[in-house]
Amino acid sequence: YPGVVSIVHNINPKDRSILGKEFRLLSGSNRIRERLGTLEFLLSPPAFFQVNTKQAQVLYQKAVEYAGLSGKETVWDLYCGTGTLTLFLAQKAAKVYGIEAVSEAIADAKANAKHNKIGNVEFYSGDVEKVLPELATQKARPDVIILDPPRQGATKKVLETVASLGPSKIVYVSCDPATLARDLGILNQLGYHVQEIQPVDMFPQTYHTEVVTLLVKE
């Protein structure tokens, strides 16, 4: 089976989650490779990556379009995962900072930046709610903030911190319309209004959809 490049055993003693914390490599490489556009990504087992790669390109291109970058901007990418969208943004921005809670994903993100010879990115591992305020005291204020949280959405504290930083644009990438609606309501109260929304059908023949939203500061 030449298409099988890696076999990994995940050990999960619990019944409420799909994956446990322990991964054992049985055969092949501890990372697989996936290409999106001109970029190639190295992926470890715990890291998140969109399985529909053709539509993932559509999704990320729309997010980059909404960011409206000229090459001079500082961008913060929250919940950046393996740095997929981060690296697309870095091709059009002056500097991009990525934050992600999964340490293995951050290791992949750093490897991906090096692998693609992209040097204007920095990645930070930790809970966004905790790392974001620390980053705000150390780095240049963002012109654009990307929000790409898991299905439960962002916490109110994260949204309040994002708004307090005063980016001219927020691009919100959501995999759950219900939590998106909740978070957009909070951001509206914090001074950001929705300018445009674009759904992307990542999972044909299902009710699941990804949504990219552009918010601008009032």
Q: Which residue has the tokens 């900072």?
A: 97
User: Is residue 1 over pLDDT 80?
Assistant: no
DSSP track, 91-125 = TTSSEEEEEES-HHHHHHHHHHHHHTT--SEEEEE
At 20 the pLDDT is 84
With a pLDDT cut of 70, the percent of the chain lying above it is 100
- Angstrom distance (rounded) from CA 32 to CA 182: 36
pLDDT tens by residue, 123-182 = 999 999 999 999 999 988 999 999 999 999 999 999 999 999 999 999 999 999 999 999
Cα separation, 124 vs 97, in Å, equals 8
pLDDT-derived band at 51 (thresholds 50, 70, 90) equals confident
| CA–CA distance, 34 with 142 (Å, rounded to integer) | 29
| 174 and 210 Cβ atoms separated by less than 8 Å | yes
Mean pLDDT of the chain: 93
Asked if pLDDT for residue 48 goes beyond 80, the answer is no
Catalytic residue among 36, 42, 105, 175: 175
The SS3 of residue 135 is helix
User: What are the CA-CA distances from residue 178 to residues 50, 139, 160, 191, 198 (Å)?
Assistant: 20, 33, 19, 21, 15
- pLDDT interval class at 198 (50, 70, 90): very high
Single-letter amino acid code for the residue at 188 = N
> What pLDDT sits at residue 95?
98
Please name which of 147, 152, 179, 169 lies closest in space to residue 214, comparing C-alpha atoms.
169
- pLDDT value for 158: 97
Q: How does 158-180 read in b/e, with b if 16+ C-beta sit within 10 Å? A: bbebbbeeebebbbbbbbbeebb
Considering the segment(s) 47-217 as one domain, its CATH architecture is 3-Layer(aba) Sandwich (3.40)
175 is catalytic: yes
